[in-house]
Every structure is written in structure tokens, then in C-alpha cells.
Structure 1
Amino acid sequence: MSSIIQLLPDHVANQIAAGEVVQRPASVVKELLENAVDARATDIKLIIKDAGKSLVQVIDNGLGMSVTDARLCFERHATSKIRQAEDLFSLHTKGFRGEALASIAAIAHVEMKTKQDQQELGTHLVIEGSKFVSQEVAVLPKGTSFAVKNLFYNIPARRNFLKSDIVEFRHVVDEFQRVALAHPQIHFTFYHNGSEMYNLPPSNSRQRIVNFFAGKTNEKLVPIQEATEIVTIDGFVGKPEFAKKGRGEQFFFVNDRFIKSGYLHHAVMAAYDGILKEGAQPSYFIYLTVPPNTIDINIHPTKTEIKFDDEQALYAILRASIKHSLGQFNVAPVLDFDRDANLDTPYHYKDLDGATPTIQVDSNYNPFAEETPNPHYASAYRKPEVKSHWDGLYVGLKHDTAEVGTMTFENEEITSSLFNDSDIEQTVHKTYQIHKKYIVSPIKSGMVIVDQQRAHQRVLYEQFLTNMTVHQASSQQLLFPIHLFFSATEMELIADLQLSLVNTGFVFEETTEAYIVISGIPINSTESEVSIVLEQLLSDLQDGIPESSFSQNDTIAKSMAKSLAVKTGTYLTEKEQENLVNGLFACKDPNVSPFNKPTFITMRVEDLDKKFAV
């Protein structure tokens, strides 16, 4: 019987490994940037085309490679980072598996140019699908240049699974941010389709963060610093008033390596307990330095998750250091009594001396005397006159009660009804609000119970969708335009969405690379809600803007409806309740909210009768 198990060819094994290492163009960007950092480069350029699908090129001025190393680096499990198994627990570099370049070369066209400083000539290699096409000697500058073209050209199925250019570009930017923020001492430049996206000169951590996110980033950062035997903590956290709905500006770095940790994130949120609005997420850029032998970074294929030896102690130290910084910089609230500003001395009187009051006393005053001795005080201390014939006060009262409104109870007539017909009409309510959450409206067969938040979402959703379709949105002009600051990537999203936002009622007075100026807003929104609406919209579009216009408008309408809808716990007047119910049943699809949740239920009289049945 023939053998069933066979060894896979190298090119097939490389393609399988590529499925784990290379998921999208951003994966190639990550591997090449980390290799450039490990090569001790001080200047790194990232060049991509079509969000990395056509080209990902990384140029550095690092150590470079010899002719032998240039050929050997594309072999599987060939690495300069480790020598033995024990090195896995004392890592000081980024990559160490030795599969990245071999995997990339198996699914793309790769061109590498490299030269060491002490050599006169360098090496030029061309590889297509793991096959070496050419290897030549060339005149090159010091360092290495990797150009990865036509990613997944020989695996069409994988290429078809890639998202739109906007989505893939967003992932590339994320990887670029993570490497550049971890190494502020390196000069990074980033080009996309020939346009310069970022130019980050060597600087400190704070300046690198400001260069990335621009706007008012500098004034919202609170530094944190703590040094213990277990960990050294440096970095910055954001002030609570700058917290956003999304979790975009949250970074953990351990030994200059970006990681994700829900456990450490919980420690940060615990430090902000009580000073953040519900659902808000603070910004943080936290750099942790721990002994390499106390962590295991080989528990996840992308190395973004780390196992710590003493997680509980690290949690407590991180939480305490953030709390200390927030209190030290007067960000966290302090224990103090509330002061009433109305009790403060008015400005015009604060420097004046108070006048001493004078007291006048009549030493001859006798309350038991028949007459007041001093006529000056007579009016103040005159005893009331007593009517001798007190019953005369009520003479004729019986005939005048109809004219005296305040004493009609003396001559009240008994009627057959407690209320007049006009009073009944005034006291009948068409709707009732229950627990500031539901609106009850009677109908012929029983009653309708409406969820006020979901109902308002449906009303706003259809209004926004109609406005964006017919381009007839109404705006309310602001007396003072609003300046809103965003990061570079957020500004790109806003630029792509600007036309659709204008169709919903926004008026953009000015748009720059770092901020926008809004002079008009939709009629069903307020000035204080503008930043909330845009932040929620950017958070909902983190994975990219839909390509079709209808899907794009639909996403924007849903996001804005979610932000502007009346929330559970809001009191509504009777008129507001009626308008909301009438608006809901005037919609094309009143049964569900934009998120496919029921907006109302009906309860018949028969259902109520069953509840009372014995």
C-alpha cells in the first residue's frame, strides 16, 4: 500500500504560512517596517499604491545585508534574531520567526536592494512566487529597499477577499502609527499614490503624538510616569473632557512593541471611574518597560498579545499611576464642598468696607401704656382697634356671595357632576409617558406602547435619508461658527463624507488639514451635539466608507439618527409625545427602528381582560 502522508513542496508550504502571516497589505507593512527598525535605521520611508495592493515599498538606511544574507533571508525559518530556544524568552527585537519574507515572496513579486556600509557594491534581487528570477550586483546607497508588488497575484481567491482601498488604507495607517509611535527617535515618511501623508521628524514621544493627531492633542495630554521593580511606565493619558465615543487613540507599548490588552485597558478605565461620561473612551499612549524574561510574546501569530508573569501587580501599578497623574494635574475631581456663587461678594462691593448699622431705641416706650408717649413711634406701635359690634361685619354677606369669588363656599350649589364638560375636555390626555421611556397612546382596540428612543431613531433616519436623496436639507445658521479638530485620518473620512453631510444640513465654512469650521447644522440638532454626532459617525465608519452611494447615505443616516434621537430617561411634554407618535406612524416603515428593533407593541382590551380574569 502506497504512503498517504507526503512532504509539501516549499512553495506550497510558504503559501500556507503566508495565510497566517500575510492577511492584507497592512501585514506586509508591519513586517517590513519592523525589519527596518531592527536594522537600526534612522530614516524609514513607506511608499504604497492602491492601499498596498499594487505596491508596498519600505526604504531604510539601516545596516543592510551581505550577498549571502540577501539570498538566505527569503528561506523559511532563516532569522538573525535568535540562535536557540532560550532566546525566545529574552527578545529585544521585533520579528524572530523567520517566516515573514519567505511568506511574502510566495504570494507577490518582490524586489530587494541592499548594501552594507563597508561594501562598495550592493545586491539586487528579484523574486516572483518564491522563485528567484535574478540576482545582480548594483551601485546602491547604504541600507535596504523592499518593494512588494501585486500582492496575492497567484492566489486570486485571497485577493478577492480584500476590502476596498479605503478600508485597506486605514489598516495600513494603523500599522504605520503603531511602529512610528513606538520609535519617535526615527524619521518616518509615508507616501500614498504619490502624495505625502506623513512626515515625522525625530522627536520625543509627546511631539510624535502631536505630529500624528494634530489639532488640540498637545493640550489634552496628561503625562504619567512610574518606576518600580516590576515595570517602568511612561506616556500620556487624555483629559476626561476630550474623551470620545470611539477607541481609536488608545495605544499600549511593551518594550517598544505595540500590544492589545483588555486587562490593561480595564485598569485604565478603572482609573477614570467617576470622571467619564457613560460610553466615553479616553485617549492614552502608554509605554511599559518590563524585563524581557517576564513576558511571553509568542502566544499570538501577530505578536499583539502578551502574557505577563504578574498581571495583578501590573494592573494595580498602572491604575494607581494614572489616578495619581489625573489628580496631580487637577484633572480628577477633588473632595470639596459645593460653593454657591450667589453668596460671593459682588464685584463693585468687594473692596468697600461695610457700613456699621445704627440702632435707635426709644427708652420711654411702654407697651402697656394707654397712649404712646412719643408721637414719632405712634404709628409703629399703635394697638389695633377692636370692633365692639363684631357681628356687623357679616351683615349682608348672604346676598353678596355670588359676587365675591373668594368666599363662594358660603353659597355653593350642589351639582350632579364633579366636573364640567369643558373641564373633562381639558384633562383628557391622548398620550402618557411611563418611566421616561415608553409612550402609551389609546386606540379603539386597546392601546399602543411606543419606545420613545427607537421611534425617534426611525423618524430621524427617514428624514436624513430623504434629505440626502433629494438634496433639500434645511439648516439653522450658527451665530458663532464651531471649530472642530480631528486627526489626519479622521479628516480624510470627513472629506469623503462632506457632500453627504451637507445634504443632511451641515454647512462647512472652512476645511483644513487639521480642523473644520461649521457655520450651519441640521434643524433637529443643537450646537452642543455637533461634535458628538461627528465623533459617533467617525466611530461607526472605522472600517471604511461603503462604496455605493446608497449604502454610504444609509450608514450616515443611521449614525446620525442614533446620536440625535431622544434618549431613554428624557421627559417629554404631552405635545412632544403626540408629535413623536404621529411622526412614527407617518414613516414608511414604522414597525422597526433603523437597527431592526421593534418600535412599538399593541395591547388589546381582550388582553387586559385576561389579566383581570379570576
Structure 2
Amino acid sequence: MADIINLLPDNIANQIAAGEVIQRPASAVKELLENAVDAGATEIQLIIRDAGKELVQVIDNGKGMSETDARMCFERHATSKIQTINDLFSIRTMGFRGEALASIAAVSQVELKTRLRGSEIGTYIEIDNSAVKKQEMCQTAEGTSIAMKNLFFNVPARRNFLKSNAAEMRHIVDEFIRVAMAFPQIQFTLTNNTQQLFYLEKGSLKQRIIAILGQHYNARIVSVKETTDYMNVHGFVGKPETAKKTRGDQFFFVNNRFIKSPYLHHAIMNAFAEMIPADSFPLYVLFIDLDPGHVDINVHPTKQEIKFDDEKLMYAFVQSAVKHALAQFNITPTLDFGLDPGIQQLDAVSKPFTEQQQAKSVNTSLYKSFTQANQAHTIDKSSNLKHWKDLYGSGESNVTYTETETETMDSPQEESYTTHSTTIESRSSATSMIDEGWQDTSIDQKVPVQVHQQYILSQIKSGFILIDQQAAHERILYERYQRAVQETAIPTQQSLFPQTLQLLPADAALIMEMIPDLQILGYDLEPFGNNTFVVRGTPADIQSGNEQASIEGLLEQFKHFSHELKLPRREQLIRSMARNNSIQAGKSLSTREMQNIIDELFACTMPNSSPGGKYTYISFKLTDLAKMFG
């Protein structure tokens, strides 16, 4: 029988290995940026064309490579970081496996220009499908410029699995932000199709966070710093009001390497317990520094998942550090003492307090009881406070008051009787309010009633139903938007004065991806350059002047569904719009609005649940009520 096992050719083996490391353009961005950081660069440029499918180029001013190193760096398992097995357990650099450049060269066309610091001439190398096509001397700046062109040109099936340009660009921005956040002492720029998306100057960690996430975080983040012999934690967490319904602003770095750790994330959530809603996510950028011997970073090809030798200790320490920071900066819910603008218009505030009015007020017994020595605790019972209004009255009011002198009640029985009478009166007034809400509109139907501005109570033949107004409206909007996508587009309400919307680069890339679907669903917006969009119109049922809040809320909901559910993009968008535009709990509804919700809900194909599976209503039968009351 003939032998059937053969060694794979190098080019095929390299392509298989590349599948672990280079899954999309963003994977190459991560590896190339980390190599530039390891080279000691202080300025790093990332240049992208066609969302990385045509070009990913990284230019740094690091130490560069010699001619031999420039050729060797494309070989598999070639690295300058590891000499012995012990080096594997004391790694503090970013790239160390020696697979990144070999994998990139296996699935793309690569051009490398590099000049060693202090050398007069550099090296140019051109590689195509792992084969060196050209190697020669060249003039170039100190440092390294590496360009990856035509990703997956030799693996068409892999290229077909890449997402849209907007989706791939979003992944690239994510990887860029993770590296740039970890090294605020390095200047980073990101250019996409000749448009500069990021220009991040060297600075402190706080300056880098604000430059990436937005200026509005300047006064809304709290410093975290704890030091022990075992490990150190430093960074920033957002105040409770910065918590969002979606993930995205959570960054963990271990020895400056970005990691994903649900376990440590849970520690942060526990530190914020009872400060934020259970379904919200706080902002945090935390750096953990510890001996590399206590952590294994070689458990995953992308090195984003790691293992600690004592996870419980890490959990307790991170949770304690965040709790201490929040307590130290007195992060607790605060009252807003800002004056209501309506109060400013009142006569007592807007009109001057004349000398005549001052003199009159000073002579009242109430004023004297608070100003005379040792009188603040005394109340003149004989006056029964009948002149209290003198303190506020101008003496010119047309309103007349009828005062009745009453005896002070000393009898407990009289006091009890008065309390009882008050209770009866309040009950009768409450009964009259209920009667007003339940007046017959017809023999068989009662007017719906809103309960705690959250539920709608409506009578039916067999009893009554209790409707969750938000879940019900979400179901109504969801089916309306589905029909729009499948049949007729939702009409757009054009704005008299179009608004400009400034977004973070990652959000701008996300909106670019969604524009065709948003137009079907009633939004009219177009790119205006530099992460800015012009909003010319919104769906007709969105209140005018609320365009920016509507789109920002829609983005947050979309990111929430993107993380929580693996749904098609259009389905995520429809659910996001339904959730974002639905009537929120706490909103007062008129009788007509409540009746419209009831009518539209039961005209839906699935009226009993929201798109997320939540009950929209619960029915109560008369027979069940009879049992409850015995």
C-alpha cells in the first residue's frame, strides 16, 4: 500500500496559519501597530484604503531594521523577542510569536521600506504570496514603512467573506483605538481614503481618553490608582451618569495589552452596584501592571484572552480599587439646585421688593419670631399664624381673605375626629377621581386609565387587561418598520432647518453602513465630511427638534443589539428604532393616545409580546378577581 501522508508546501501551510492570525483587515492593523510600538516609535501613522481591502499601511519612526532582519522578519516563527523558553514567561512586548508578518505576506502583497537608526541607506523588499519578488537598497526615512496590499487576493473565498466597507472600517477603528489608548505617550494618526479620522497628540492618559471618546467626558471621569507588591491598577472610570445601555467604552489592559475579560468586567459591575441600572454599562479604562510570570498571554491567537494564576485575587483587587475611587471622589446621586426658568418669571422674583414692603414685613409677628434673640423656636399660639400672608402680601392684592378665629384644640378626641374626617374627605375625593376616569362612553366600553404613567388599564367583557405602554408601542413600531422595509417606505418629515450631527469616528463608520436602510425607515441624512452628517429629515412620527437625540439613541440601541444578539443588520436596525422611538415608561398619555395604542396593538400580527419577547399585556378575569376577594 502506497504512503499517503505528505508535508504541506510552505505557501499552503502559511495560508492555513494566516487564517488564525489574519481574519480581516483589522487583524493586520493590530499586528502592524503593535510591531511599530515595539520598535520604540514616538510617531505612528495608519493609512487605510478601501477599508483595508486595498491597502493597510503603517509608518513609524522607530529604530528600523537591518537588511538581514528585514528579510528574516517574514519567515515563520522569526522573532527578536524570545531566545530561551524562560523568555516566554517574562514577555512585556506586544508581538512575540513571529507569525504576524509571515501570515500577512501569505495572503497579500507586501512592500517594506526600512532604515536602521544611524544608517545612511535603507532596504526595500517586495513580497507576493510569501515569495520575495524584489530586494534592493533604497532611500527612506529612519524607521519602518510596511504596506499590505490586496488582502486575500490569492484566497478569493476568504475575501468574499469580508463584510461591507463600513463594517470592516468599524473593526479597524476599534483596533486602532485599543492600541492608541494603551500608549498615550505616542502620537497616532489614522487616515482613511485620504481623509484624516484621528490625529492624537502625545499627552496624558486622560487627554488621550478625551481625544478618543469625546470632550464631554472631561469632567465625568474619576481617577483610579491602587498600588501593592503583587499588582498595580491605574486608569479612569466614568461617573454613574455616563453609563450607557450598550458596551463599547470598556477597556482593560494588562501590561499595556488590551484584553477581554468577562470575569474582571463582572468585578467592575459589582463595584457600581446600585449606582447604575442593572442593564447599563459603565465607562472604564483600566491598566493592570503585574509580573508577567503571573499571567499567561499565549492562550489565544489574537492574544486578547489571557489567564491569571490567581483570578480571585485579581477580581477582589479590581473591584476594591474602583469602589475606593468612587468613594474617594464622593460619587453619589446629587440634587440639581438649578432654578426652574419658570420661577424666574414670578412676581416675587422679577419685581423689586420696595422699602415700603420691607418695612411692613419687618413689623409682622412671624418675622419677629425668627429674628429676635432666642425666639427662633417659639411660635405665638394666640395668633394662630393668621398673619402669615403678610410676609408675602403686597398690600395691593385684589384677593380678599376671610379669617375665622378658632380655638386651639386640646382634646385628643377632637383631634382624632378631625383626622378621621380628613381621611373620609380624601377617600371621597379619590373616589370621585376614579369615577371621572371610568365614565361610560358606551354600554359595553369603559375609558382606558393610565396606571403610574407606565401601564394602561382597559376593561374587556371577561374582566380587564393591563398593558405595558412601552412594550406595546415597541411592538406596534416594530411591525410598522417591518412593513416599511418589505412594502412601502416610511414618509420623511423634512426639517425646515437641517441639523449637523458630529459623531465619533467609530459611530460615523456605523452610520455610513446603515444609511441605505435608514432612508427606507424615514431618515434623510448624508455625509458632510470629518465624521459629520447633515440631518435633513426624520420619520414623521418623531417630534421636530429631536433629530439629534433620536439618531444618537438609535446608535446606542443598535450597538446594544449588535453585542447581545446575532441578528441580521437590518433586523437589528428595526428593533433598535422600535426600542428607541417607543413611548417610555413615565410619560403621561391622553385618553385618545391610550385608545390608539390599544387599537393598534391588537391589529398587530403578534400583539402579545414585544420584539424582545417581553409581555405586552396581561389579562385578568372576573372569576379570578372573585377568588382573590373570597
TM range (shorter): 0.7 to 0.9
Q: 1:430, 1:442 within 8 Å by CA — same for their partners in 2?
A: no
Who is 2:472 aligned against?
455
Preserved CA contact (<8 Å) 1:189 1:198 = yes
Take 1:530 and 1:604, find their aligned partners in 2: how far apart are those partners?
Answer: 43
1:65 offset after TM fit, Å?
Answer: 1.2
* 1:249 CA displacement: 1.0
Provide the residue aligned with 2:92 in structure 1.
92
Please show how residues 498-577 of structure 1 align to structure 2 within 5 Å: 533-542=550-559, 555-566=572-583, 576-577=593-594
Aligned to 1:68: 68
Is residue 16 of structure 1 aligned with residue 16 of structure 2? Answer: yes
1: CA distance between counterparts of 2:467 and 2:69?
71
In 2: Cα distance, 1:600 partner to 1:521 partner: 30
Q: Which residue of 2 aligns with 1:583?
A: 600
Segment drifting more, 122-131 vs 468-477: 468-477
| CA distance in structure 1 between the aligned counterparts of 2:500 and 2:155, rounded to whole angstroms | 47
1:203 aligns with 2:187: no
Equivalent residue, structure 2, for 1:402 = none
Task: Please tell me whether the aligned partners of residues 187 and 200 of structure 2 are also in contact (alpha carbons under 8 angstroms).
Answer: yes
Deviations 1:336-383 (A, max 9, x none): 9xxxx9xxxx9999997635589799xxxxxxxxxxxxxxxxx9899x
**Residue 463 of structure 1, CA deviation:** 4.9
Q: Point out the more displaced range, 456-465 or 94-103.
A: 456-465
8 Å contact from structure 1 (residues 437, 451) kept in 2 = yes
Among 438, 460, 478, the alignment partner of 1:442 is 460
What are the equivalent positions in structure 2 for 1:24-39 lying under 5 Å apart? 24-39=24-39
Q: Measured at CA, do residues 73 and 248 of structure 1 come closer, stay the same or move farther in structure 2, by a change above 3 Å?
A: same
2:456–2:594 contact (8 Å) kept in structure 1: no
Aligned-residue offset at 1:287: 1.0
Distance 1:428 1:152 in 2: 67
Of the three residues 446, 453, 463, the one matched with 1:429 is 446
| CA distance in structure 2 between the aligned counterparts of 1:157 and 1:543, rounded to whole angstroms | 30
Q: Secondary structure at the match of 1:148?
A: strand
Once residues 466 and 297 of structure 2 are traced to their aligned partners in structure 1, the CA distance between those partners, rounded to angstroms, is 54
Structure 2 CA distance for aligned equivalents of residues 483 and 426 of structure 1: 53
Structure 1 residue 586 displacement after superposition: 4.2
Q: Which runs of 5+ in 2 are unaligned?
A: 341-347, 383-403, 408-438, 563-567
Distance 1:567 1:211, change over 3 A: closer
CA spacing shift, 1:257–1:502, aligned 2, 3 Å: same
What does 1:354-433 correspond to in 2, within 5 Å? 354=370, 429=446
What residue is the counterpart of 1:134 in the other structure?
Answer: 134
Higher deviation after alignment, 264-273 or 594-603: 594-603
Q: 1:160 to 1:502 in 2, by over 3 A?
A: closer
Deviation track 1:11-36 (CA, whole Å, cap 9, x = no partner) reads: 11101100101000000011111111
Higher mean C-alpha displacement, 105-114 vs 453-462: 453-462
Task: Tell which deviates more after alignment, 220-229 or 458-467.
Answer: 458-467
Q: Deviation at 1:493?
A: 4.0
Please give the root-mean-square deviation of Cα atoms over the aligned residues, in Å: 4.6
SS of the aligned residue for 2:13 comes to: helix
Closer, same or farther in 2 for the Cα pair 1:39/1:498, shift >3 Å? same
Structure 1 segment 77-476 matched on structure 2, within 5 A = 77-333=77-333, 354=370, 429=446, 442=460, 452-463=469-480, 472-473=491-492
Over 3 Å counting, the alpha-carbon distance change for 1:318 and 1:332 in structure 2 is farther
**Is the 8 Å Cα contact of residues 215 and 514 (structure 1) preserved in structure 2?**
no
Shift of 1:543: 10
**Greater alpha carbon shift after TM alignment, 196-205 vs 320-329:** 320-329
Could you say if the C-alpha distance between residues 459 and 165 of structure 1 is closer, same or farther in structure 2, counting changes exceeding 3 Å? Answer: same
List per-residue Cα deviations over 1:466-500 (Å, max 9, x = no partner).
Answer: 7895564458999xx99987533224545776797
Q: CA deviation at 1:244?
A: 1.3
2:6 is aligned to 6
Q: TM-score, normalised by structure 1?
A: 0.74
Give 3-state SS (helix, strand or coil) of 1:216's partner: helix
- CA distance in 1 between partners of 2:474 and 2:27 (Å): 39
The number of equivalent residue pairs is 537
Question: 1:109, 1:512 → 2: CA distance?
Answer: 31
Measured in 2, the distance between the counterparts of 1:595 and 1:311 equals: 34
**Residues 105, 128 of structure 2: 8 Å contact kept:** yes
Q: Give the alignment's TM-score, normalised by structure 2.
A: 0.72
**Match of residue 403 from structure 1:** none
CA drift at 1:460: 2.3
Partner of 2:417: none
Greater mean deviation of Cα atoms: 516-525 or 93-102: 516-525
Letter in 1 for 2:210: V
| Range with bigger deviation, 590-599 or 145-154 | 590-599
Task: Report the alpha carbon displacement of residue 552 of structure 1 after superposing the two structures with TM.
Answer: 7.6
Distance 1:43 1:76 in 2: 28
- SS of equivalent residue, structure 1 residue 219: coil
Aligned residue identity for 2:282 = P
What amino acid does structure 1 have at the position aligned with 2:168? Answer: E
SS at match of 1:287: strand
Shift in alpha-carbon separation, 1:491–1:572, aligned structure 2, 3 A: same
Read off the aligned partner of 2:460 and give its amino acid letter. P
Contact 1:167–1:543 at 8 Å: present in 2 too? no
Q: 1:515-537: CA deviations, max 9, x gaps?
A: 89999987766799978754442
Q: How many angstroms does 1:239 deviate by?
A: 1.1
Maintained 8 Å contact 1:473/1:503:
no
* 1:458 maps to amino acid: R
Taking a change above 3 Å as real, the CA distance of residues 520 and 9 of structure 1, as seen in their structure-2 partners, is closer
Match for residue 370 of structure 1? none
Q: 1:476 to 1:590 in 2, by over 3 A?
A: farther
Q: Take 1:424 and 1:552, find their aligned partners in 2: how far apart are those partners? A: 45
User: SS of 2:59's equivalent?
Assistant: strand
- In structure 2, do the counterparts of structure 1 residues 571 and 19 end up closer, same or farther at CA, with 3 Å as the change threshold? same
Contact 1:431 1:442 in 2 (8 A): no
Structure 1 residue matching 2:179: 3-state secondary structure: helix
C-alpha displacement of 1:46: 0.7
The amino acid that maps onto 2:185 is Q
Is the 8 Å Cα contact of residues 327 and 333 (structure 1) preserved in structure 2? no
Aligned partner of residue 286 in structure 1, secondary structure? strand
C-alpha spacing 1:168/1:522, structure 2 compared with 1 (3 Å):
closer
Where does residue 385 of structure 2 map in the other structure? none
What is the identity, as a one-letter code, of the residue corresponding to 1:24?
R
Q: Are 1:508 and 1:520, in contact at CA under 8 Å, matched by a contact in 2?
A: yes
What amino acid maps onto 1:295 in structure 2?
A: V
Could you tell me which amino acid in structure 2 is paired with residue 28 of structure 1?
Answer: A
Supply the AA of the counterpart residue of 2:114: T
The corresponding residue for 2:410 is none
TM superposition shift of 1:162: 0.3
- Determine if contact 2:167/2:513 at 8 Å carries over to the other structure: no
- Residue 108 of structure 2 contacts residue 151 of structure 2 at CA under 8 Å; is this kept in 1? yes
Q: 1:50 to 1:441 in 2, by over 3 A?
A: farther
CA drift of 1:300 comes to 1.3
Q: Specify whether residues 315 and 33 from structure 1 end up closer, same or farther in structure 2 by C-alpha distance, changes over 3 A only.
A: same
Look up the equivalent residue of 1:179 and give its one-letter code.
Answer: V
Structure 1 distance, partners of 2:406, 2:507, is 79
Letter in 2 for 1:442: I
Distance change >3 Å, CA 131–CA 155, structure 1 → 2: same
Change (3 A) 1:280 1:519: farther
What is the deviation of 1:88?
1.2
Amino acid at match of 1:223: S
Q: Distance in 2 between the 1:447 and 1:121 partners?
A: 86
CA contact (8 A) 2:522 2:540 kept: yes
Amino acid at match of 1:559: S
